Amino acid sequence: MTAVPTNERCGARRPGWESGPPVGINRIPCVRETEHDGDHWNAWMQRWPNRELRTATGVTA
Ligand SMILES: [Zn+2]
């Protein structure tokens, strides 16, 4: 797993777990880099779909 600096992380929360403090496995935000493609995942390797999938052409990961 690639470590991403905190200020460069996506930080998305799992749907339904956005509210409240980032405490508990289900509220841990995405640790992937900002602007990443594909699923979000957290430090526990829980994955969830990215609802803002970029389908624009010309974007390379
Ligand atoms: Zn993410």
Beta bridge partners of 47: 41
Buried b or exposed e, range 30-42, using 16+ CB within 10 angstroms: bbbeeebeeebbb
Contact in structure between 10 and 36 (CB atoms under 8 Å): yes
The model's confidence at residue 23, banded by pLDDT at 50, 70 and 90, is confident
Provide the pLDDT for residue 8: 92
Where exactly are the structural domains of the chain?
Answer: 1-54
CA–centroid distance, residue 24 to ligand 1 (Å):
17
The model's confidence at residue 19, banded by pLDDT at 50, 70 and 90, is confident
CA–centroid distance, residue 7 to ligand 1 (Å):
13
Q: Is the pLDDT of residue 58 over 60?
A: no
CA–centroid distance, residue 12 to ligand 1 (Å):
5
For the full predicted model, state whether its pTM sits above 0.85: no
CB-facing half-sphere around the CA of 46: CA atoms within 13 A: 13
